[in-house]
Copies of this chain bind each other. A is one copy, B any other.
Amino acid sequence: MYFTLRRSSLWACNTVTTERVKGEHPRLNRDLVLDTAAELVKQQGVEALTMRKLAAELGTAVTSIYWHVGNRESLLTELVARTVAELGEIRPRGRTPRDRIVSLARTLRRELRAHPHLVALVHERGRTEQMFQPVAQALVHEVHAAGLRGARAAQAVRAVQFQVVGFVVLERYRERAPVQRPGEQELWDADTAGQDPALARALAAEVDVDRLFAASARALVDGLLGPA
């Protein structure tokens, strides 16, 4: 049997928030709803963010939430915007523009991976664009410093953004799905790999995503800027 938690029974349940458990219930407002929703997502993932669970967490009726945030869609949108704003500022490191661009890529990836709930949120809402934002300014600056101009510079900025975000999204997928890739082996043994056992071995092994990313980012930037 399903029932919504009443405010008065909040103490009895496995609540997510810690600060609010023992005190009085403050008046419900938009910020409180959003904070609680964010906490829920952070601790139990986006799929746990249902209007009913959120209401239980807040100790209110489900319908009260609607008065403050409209509906689930706009709640998620607001949550994404907030989390993006919370991302640390991304500052480049390294001597050459080339190094600094690679460092920006690496830092953006680290930052996004440190907020997996954000990626999941964006995932769910289809607003990947927002994940591009944090490095935008810095990338423009560095690409310009590297000597690229006009449309070509813009394209380089976008290429790096797409690579990083695409990579992070793919990584998240891989983490969700269990390993199971049956029959992949046979693809490699046939032709070329037979002559190159080290290649065959490398392809059979688990992907080292950190190294793969580092190599990809470096290669892309090298390709974009031309030989040093």
- On A, residues with C-beta under 8 Å from B are 122, 125-130, 133, 136-137, 140-141, 144, 149-151, 153-155, 157-159, 162-163, 165-167, 169-170, 173-174, 176-177, 181, 184, 187-188, 190-193, 195-196, 198-199, 202-203, 207, 211-212, 215-216, 218-224, 227
- Chain B residues near A196 (CB-CB < 8 A): 144, 149-150, 153
Give min CB distance, A179 to chain B, whole Å: 9
Q: Contact: A173 with B126, CB < 8 Å?
A: yes
Q: List 6 A-B contacts (CB under 8 A).
A: A130-B181, A136-B188, A166-B166, A166-B170, A215-B224, A222-B222
Q: Contact: A202 with B155, CB < 8 Å?
A: yes
Cα distance, A125 to B177, chains bound together (Å): 8
Q: Contact: A140 with B192, CB < 8 Å?
A: yes
Given pairs A137-B191, A154-B199, A158-B212, 15 additional interface contacts (CB within 8 A):
A125-B177, A127-B177, A129-B177, A133-B187, A150-B196, A154-B203, A155-B212, A159-B215, A162-B166, A162-B216, A163-B216, A166-B166, A218-B223, A219-B220, A219-B224
